[in-house]
Amino acid sequence: MQRGLMLFAHGARDPRWSLPFEAVARSVREREPQLIVQLAYLEFMSPGLLDAGHALAQAGCTHVDVVPLFLGAGGHVRKDLPLLLAELAASHPQVAWQLRTAIGEVGSVIEAMAQAALALTRDETPA
């Protein structure tokens, strides 16, 4: 089984906005080189989710975890993303597309943000 990971972000008109998301993707690739990782965007940037999904399927992925890089599961995660994943599932029925929790709702991420916020109030550089 070839595993894939799609990191899904909103996108923005300012190309600098994507830098932290690209850093996350790069870090994941370095930590788990056998995992095929695609960073995808909802709008304004590319690749879009469908193009990234097609690339993962073409790379031979049979199981793809989709992790929304959103602080919470709002309308894009609850409504838009499932529709896009249904379209991918119809195009690539050999792939199991697994939608995961929005990253900002994961306890360790909440704790890391709290620690970073406190460090900033002390004029410290967060680790």
What global pTM score does this model have?
0.91
Mean pLDDT of residues grouped by 10 in the chain (127 residues)?
A: 96 94 98 98 94 98 97 78 95 97 95 93 77
Q: Write down all domains in the chain, each with its CATH number in brackets.
A: 3-121 (3.40.50.1400)
How is residue 47 annotated by DSSP?
A: S
- 47: exposed, middle or buried (C-beta count within 10 Å: 0-12, 13-18, 19+)? middle
Contact criterion met (CB below 8 Å) for 7 and 55: no
d(CA 9, CA 101): 13
3-state secondary structure of 48: strand
pLDDT reported for residue 125: 73
3-state secondary structure of 106: coil
